[in-house]
Amino acid sequence: FEGLRYYCVTSRFFHDEKMADASNDCGADEPDIQATRKRFEVLDKKYRHLKGLSQRAVIEFEALQEKCQDYYEKYKEQEGKYLKIKGDLEKLKEVSNLALAEYENLHGKYEVEQNCRNKAEEFATNMVQENKKLKRQSQLLLSQVGEQVNLEEISSVSTDDQPLSVDAVFQEELKELKLMVESLRKEVKSTQEELTTTQNQLNSERQSHEVTKKRLMSNEKQFKQLNRVSVLALEEYNTLQQRYALETQCRVEAEKYAAEVLREKDVLDQQRKYISETTSKDEQLKKALEEITSLNKKLADERTEAEEKIKELLEDMKASKDEEYISVTEEKLHVAEEHIESLEQQLADTEKKVTEANQKVSELEKSLEEAKKQAAATPPSPVATPPPPPPPPPPPPPPPTQLIKKFMNIVGAKKRSSLKRNKAPKDPMAVAMSEMMQRIKTGNIQLKPVKSPSTTSSESDDTDAMSDLGNLLKTLKRNPSVDVGPGVSSPGADGSPVEWANIKLRKPSSSVESSKETSNSGDAGNGNNELKKVVLRKPRSHSAGDILDDRPKDEATAELKRILQRQKAAAEKGEKLIENVLLL
């Protein structure tokens, strides 16, 4: 309605304005006046139509309002009736409860009266039978005795004794009834006592039932937890067995590879001797070769020292009980990860910029070639402006050594004296790897076929226990399937051979590249003058050599990130195992 009113007011306002314009512009053109008149007529028709519609709407609204009021009054009446009926119903409920109580009392009294009546009827029947017997006996006696007995005297005596006998009978009945009432009261008291005792027993049994329910729930929870933990232990045992088999295969392959490396080293030593003999005349080349060898030795020593230091630090971290230092190191690791992420973002931005610059350079080169072709095709102009030079390429990203130095400073900021308090026992895997490296260095390698380890009594007991545990879990397992992590997968399950290409056993270093450059600059023609340095890497170990590798920044940061993620996953697994043990 407000919209209709607003429309009517606006139409009137426009009508007045148009009339005023028409009066002011009397000398204007006649076609404009006719057009305005037509518009005015159309607007007037619309206004009348809208006015009629608004009047109808107002009438309908008033009718609806009246209906609404009627319905509201009816609703109020119905609500009052409902409330009255509800009150009557509550009163009826109260009265019915009272009536039921009275009925129960009357029913009890009726039963008592009925019992008394039955007893009185029985007593009356007995008395009638006795009277009949007495009458028969008296008639027999009268027939036998005859006239010797005076009936009047007997009747007078009987009349005198009759009220006394009736009173005695009633008194006896009263005594019996009193005794019955007392016995019934005693029975009621005994039944009430029994009822209270039974109620107490019922409450105690309910409490014990609730306690047993709680214990059963806790036992079920513990059973489920034990089931889960045992399933996890089985899975970890299987994964460890698979890893052990894989590590043995890796060890065999590493020994084979080490033998090949030693052979290559011998060949390289012979080549080196030959090169030293050939280049003995040139002292500069000899000095360069000596410097290269010394640098390679220093680099290898530094790498081994860094690996040993990192291993010691990790062992001390595991064995140390300084929670504050661990928290500080974790915070530092988080800071390093954030720094690595920021550097990765910077790298991505720089790569985008480099790609854009390369695209621009390629476009400019294409435009230059097109311009050259056009210049060659067209006659030479008197003065040709040279094309602008291409923009300089962006600066290369900083080497990853700064990032590695920062990471090493963050890790080694704390005093090492606090870490060397509690030294952990030696890792058997590390001992085995050190023995293998010593054998490789000395050359005492005997390539033999891999034999399965001899199963001792303890190992057989362990395997039997684990197999028993697996069978028990299969029988007791309620869930149809157990979720296995996506990372765990049994090798050889698909029947595919182990991919040894994915295992990194070699890694090039910056010294290799420098040696290659020097050798190429010295003797480009000779193929035997290329010095190759091979660095043996321990299989499946994350050492400082991975961090100190002079690779491009993307690879170094990605490798650092992988190492940190693996360390995190191992720490989380250890925490989960500790939590499960504590729960048990």
pLDDT in tens, 528-569: 433 333 333 444 444 434 433 444 445 656 666 777 777 777
Q: Exposed/middle/buried for 246, CB within 10 Å: 0-12, 13-18, 19+?
A: middle
Q: What is the pLDDT of residue 493?
A: 37
Provide the sign of the torsion angle of the four alpha carbons 473, 477, 480, 481, taken in this order: negative
431 CB neighbour count, 10 Å cutoff: 10
User: Could you give the C-alpha distances from 57 to 63, 156, 187, 319, 439, in angstroms and in order?
Assistant: 10, 115, 85, 89, 106
C-alpha 466, offset from chain centre = 29
Q: What is the pLDDT of residue 113?
A: 87
Provide the sign of the torsion angle of the four alpha carbons 118, 123, 129, 132, taken in this order: negative
Query: Which token pair is 2?
Result: 């407000």
Q: What is the pLDDT of residue 521?
A: 42
- Cα separation, 516 vs 520, whole angstroms: 6
Q: What is the pLDDT of residue 419?
A: 45
Residue 582 has pLDDT above 70, yes or no: no
Degrees to nearest 5, angle at CA 211 with 207 and 215: 170
Average pLDDT of 149-155? 55
**pLDDT tier, 148 (very low <50, low <70, confident <90, very high otherwise):** low
Q: Residue 12 in contact with residue 50, Cβ under 8 Å?
A: no
Query: Which token pair is 441?
Result: 């260095």
- Between 64 and 337, the higher pLDDT residue: 64
Nearest to 275 by CA among 510, 518, 514: 518
- Cα separation, 36 vs 39, whole angstroms: 5
Whether this prediction's pTM lies above 0.75 is answered by no
- Cα separation, 523 vs 521, whole angstroms: 6
Phi, psi dihedral angles at 478 (to 5 degrees): -90, -40
327-357 pLDDT, tens digit per residue, is 777 777 777 778 778 777 877 777 787 778 7
- Cα separation, 548 vs 405, whole angstroms: 9
Q: What is the pLDDT of residue 156?
A: 53
- Cα separation, 188 vs 108, whole angstroms: 14
- Cα separation, 441 vs 259, whole angstroms: 10
- Between 553 and 134, the higher pLDDT residue: 134
Degrees to nearest 5, angle at CA 512 with 509 and 517: 135
Residue 517 has pLDDT above 50, yes or no: no
Residue 403 has pLDDT above 70, yes or no: no
Residue type at 464 in one-letter notation: D
Maximum mean pLDDT: which of 142-146, 291-295, 305-309, 531-535? 305-309
426-480 pLDDT, tens digit per residue, is 566 667 667 767 766 666 555 554 444 444 444 444 455 556 556 656 665 544 4
Q: What is the pLDDT of residue 188?
A: 85
DSSP 209: H
Average pLDDT of 237-244? 87
Degrees to nearest 5, angle at CA 57 with 51 and 58: 90
Average pLDDT of 180-204? 86
Q: Exposed/middle/buried for 528, CB within 10 Å: 0-12, 13-18, 19+?
A: middle
193-233 pLDDT, tens digit per residue, is 888 888 888 888 888 888 888 888 888 888 888 888 778 88
Average pLDDT of 317-330? 66
- Between 287 and 162, the higher pLDDT residue: 287
75-124 pLDDT, tens digit per residue, is 889 888 889 888 888 888 888 888 888 888 888 888 888 888 888 888 88
- Cα separation, 511 vs 505, whole angstroms: 18
Among 152-166, 269-283, 288-302, 338-352, the minimum mean pLDDT is found in 152-166
Q: Exposed/middle/buried for 413, CB within 10 Å: 0-12, 13-18, 19+?
A: exposed
Q: What is the CA radius of gyration of the chain?
A: 57
**DSSP reduced 3-state for 460:** helix
Percent of the chain with pLDDT over 90: 0
- Cα separation, 165 vs 21, whole angstroms: 137
- Cα separation, 304 vs 536, whole angstroms: 11
33-60 pLDDT, tens digit per residue, is 788 888 888 888 888 888 888 888 888 8
Q: Residue 300 in contact with residue 507, Cβ under 8 Å?
A: no
Residue 393 has pLDDT above 80, yes or no: no
Q: What is the pLDDT of residue 484?
A: 37
- Cα separation, 195 vs 173, whole angstroms: 32
Residue type at 10 in one-letter notation: T
Query: Which token pair is 445?
Result: 């390698």
- Cα separation, 411 vs 547, whole angstroms: 13
Mean pLDDT of all residues in the chain? 68
- Cα separation, 318 vs 423, whole angstroms: 9
265-276 pLDDT, tens digit per residue, is 887 887 777 766
Phi, psi dihedral angles at 506 (to 5 degrees): -130, 150
49-71 exposure pattern, b = at least 16 Cβ within 10 A, e = fewer = eeeeebeeeeeeeeeeeeeeeee
Residue 489 has pLDDT above 50, yes or no: no
Maximum mean pLDDT: which of 145-154, 359-368, 468-477? 359-368
581 CB neighbour count, 10 Å cutoff: 9
Q: What is the pLDDT of residue 199?
A: 86
Nearest to 318 by CA among 80, 65, 571: 571
Q: What is the pLDDT of residue 296?
A: 74
**Which residues, other chains included, contact 532 with Cβ-Cβ below 8 Å and sequence gap of 6+?**
264, 268, 512, 515, 516
HEC secondary structure over 530-551: CCCCCCECCCCCCCHHHHCCCC
**DSSP reduced 3-state for 506:** strand
Q: What is the pLDDT of residue 466?
A: 55
**pLDDT tier, 491 (very low <50, low <70, confident <90, very high otherwise):** very low
- Cα separation, 256 vs 262, whole angstroms: 10
Percent of the chain with pLDDT over 70: 53
Q: Scan for tokens 């009052």, then name that residue.
A: 80
Provide the sign of the torsion angle of the four alpha carbons 436, 442, 444, 448, taken in this order: positive
